[in-house]
């Protein structure tokens, strides 16, 4: 089942109730397509034998589910809710917005421009990104989220991973995201230092991926 909303998902109860009603109608009444002011719902049936859910739990990967959803809905990098009993039944709900994510698009452009203009392209490089809208606790929570498959990863994780896979980003060893830190003014030296958590996404394809000299930050993931 593919649920498409025209704009952002809001906290408004009226929007949630209408989406719930449309989803319920699609599931219980077998409606192939349902459209309301708040969403469009399309429903497809599939034999369980032709899906990853014909296997026992733990015998299929998130990538298999991504490929399965993409083949049937044409969607990728979407939020999924999955309920299933192995070999018996499965329900997949994908939720997407028609509105483009302008924040991630802007970050993607800045990463690409920085990778091209700030470095030689031959030596290992590390990009540091200041996230003004995130607190230290929010950044820590983001770093702890599962990024092992695209179906579970956040938009930021997927965007960064895709950026690191580009041939033009081959020299980028790590992208470091940081939130606002605690300012420490040292009276003896006159130095000002900001301390706070960071979230790393490393380039698995970089020849120095495992080099300990690049382990100068803490929380990390692999792109």
> Is the CB of residue 178 less than 8 Å from the CB of residue 128?
yes
Alpha helices in the chain (DSSP H): 13-29, 62-73, 102-117, 136-144, 155-165
**Boundary residue ending a domain (36, 62, 97):** 97
pLDDT more than 70, % of the chain: 84
Yes or no: say if 204 and 222 are a contact pair by the CB < 8 Å rule.
yes
Q: Are residues 107 and 162 in the same domain?
A: yes
Between 31 and 142, the higher pLDDT residue = 142
Q: What are phi and psi of 189, to 5 degrees?
A: -100, -15
Q: Given 55, 74, 97, which residue is the final one in a domain?
A: 97
193 pLDDT higher than 80? no
Q: Which domain holds residue 69?
A: 2-97
- Whether residues 200 and 162 share a domain: the answer is yes
Do strands 125-130 and 79-85 pair parallel, antiparallel, or not at all (unpaired)?
Answer: unpaired
Q: What is the pLDDT of residue 111?
A: 93
Looking at the fold, whether 89 and 157 belong to one and the same domain comes out as: no
Residues 8 and 77 in one domain: yes
* 8 phi, psi to nearest 5 deg: -80, 150
pLDDT tens digit sequence for 128-178: 898 887 788 888 887 777 666 676 677 888 889 999 999 999 999 999 998
The DSSP bridge pattern shows strands 2-5 and 89-97 to be: parallel
What pLDDT does residue 15 have?
Answer: 87
Same-domain pairing of 59 and 115: no
Of 20-34, 49-63, 80-94, minimum mean pLDDT range: 20-34
Count of domains in the chain?
2
What is the pLDDT at residue 203? 92
pLDDT of res. 187: 58
CA dist 94 and 87 (Å) reads 21
pTM higher than 0.75: no
| 213 shares a domain with 113 | yes
The answer to whether residues 111 and 89 belong to one domain is no
Claim to verify: residue 62 and residue 124 sit in the same structural domain: no
Residue ending a domain, choose from 71, 97, 123: 97
């Amino acid at each position: 089942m593919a649920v498409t909303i025209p704009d952002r998902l809001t906290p408004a109860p009226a929007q949630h109730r209408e989406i719930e009603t449309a989803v319920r109608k699609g599931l219980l009444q077998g409606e192939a397509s349902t459209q309301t002011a708040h969403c469009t719902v399309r429903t497809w049936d599939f034999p369980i034998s032709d899906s990853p859910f014909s296997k026992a739990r733990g015998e299929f990967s998130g990538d298999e589910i991504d490929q399965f959803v993409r083949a049937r809905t044409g969607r990728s990098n979407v939020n999924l809710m999955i309920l299933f009993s192995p070999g018996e039944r499965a329900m997949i709900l994908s939720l997407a917005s028609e509105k483009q994510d302008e924040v991630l698009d802007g970050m993607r452009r800045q990463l690409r421009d920085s990778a091209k203009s700030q470095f030689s392209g031959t030596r290992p490089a590390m990009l540091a990104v200041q996230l003004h809208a995130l607190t230290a606790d929010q950044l820590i929570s983001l770093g702890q989220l599962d990024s092992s498959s695209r179906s579970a990863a956040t938009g930021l994780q997927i965007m960064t991973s895709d950026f690191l896979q580009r041939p033009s980003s081959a020299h980028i060893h790590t992208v470091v995201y940081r939130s606002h830190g605690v300012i420490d003014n040292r009276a003896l030296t006159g130095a000002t230092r900001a301390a706070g958590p960071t979230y790393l996404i490393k380039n698995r394809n970089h020849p120095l991926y495992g080099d300990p000299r690049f382990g100068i930050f803490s929380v990390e993931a692999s792109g």
